[in-house]
Amino acid sequence: MIHWLAQSHEVVPKTAVTGGSFQFLSEKEAARLASLKTEKRRRDWLLGRWTTKRLLQTVVWETQNTTVPLDLITVSNNPDGVPTIESQLPMVNGQFSISISHSHGHALVTAVAKPDWPIGCDLELIKPRSEAFIDDYFTETEALLVRQAAGEQRDLLVTAVWSAKESVLKALHLGLSVDTRAISCLIDPGERPSDSWMPFKIRCDNGRLPKEAPHFSGWWRTMEQFVMTLVVKQ
């Protein structure tokens, strides 16, 4: 079962702040927040933590009828930068694989109730991207598909394909350290934008990747002016 939640900066509640401190943070997270120097970095980091904790709190309530205090969940990162969940509560600690994405004051978090299960998500603002961008980052098949569209539909498809590739590379824990053309994400150019999740096809060229990729399932959808994608190991 895949769970997801998308929220904006405005949802971090003022009631969660007392005396300048954020009551939903663990001690470890509060120390991490204090080390962040720029306001944008702090805002994005806080939004990602708040969204992740609210998602996990909801999942635990729905599956176990138990309310988990948010400050007993710690969202951190392993040495590869992959987000991880720590808690003194066995029902939470190490029980979820998660992925977090930020874009223009919004955050998307996905979680799967299996530890160490490859999962990735991405949130992208829909905007025009150049032909040079497509040539540099897309496979020939992807480029052929997106060039069948025009105008706003083209911008949507290019954004969706780019977001999908980002999600796959997150699930592989590779990020942009490899050639993005080693991943092919095929979205039907005739598919209409939807606020429901729609599947897309994923092909990985293992000969160009530093490790063998598992078989992935992928989905995409729109939310206002954004595209959201998520992928998970089959």
* Tens digit of each residue's pLDDT (9 = 90 or more) over 184-196: 999 988 888 888 9
Q: Domain limits of the chain?
A: 2-117, 121-233
The token pair at 99 is 């992925």
The token pair at 94 is 């190490």
The reported pLDDT for the residue numbered 21 is 76
Helices (H), 65-139: 131-137
Q: How many Å separate Cα 45 from the centre of its chain?
A: 13
Spelled out in words, what is the top-level CATH class assigned to the domain 2-117? alpha beta
- Which carries the bigger pLDDT value, residue 171 or residue 192? 171
pLDDT digits (tens, 9 = 90+) for 92-126: 999 999 999 999 999 999 999 899 899 999 999 99
> Which fold, 121-233?
Ribosomal Protein L22; Chain A (3.90.470)
The reported pLDDT for the residue numbered 11 is 85
For the entire predicted model, the pTM comes to 0.94
pLDDT digits (tens, 9 = 90+) for 61-96: 999 999 999 999 999 999 888 999 999 999 999 999
> Confidence class of residue 18 from pLDDT cuts 50, 70 and 90?
low
Mean pLDDT over 172-181 rounds to 93
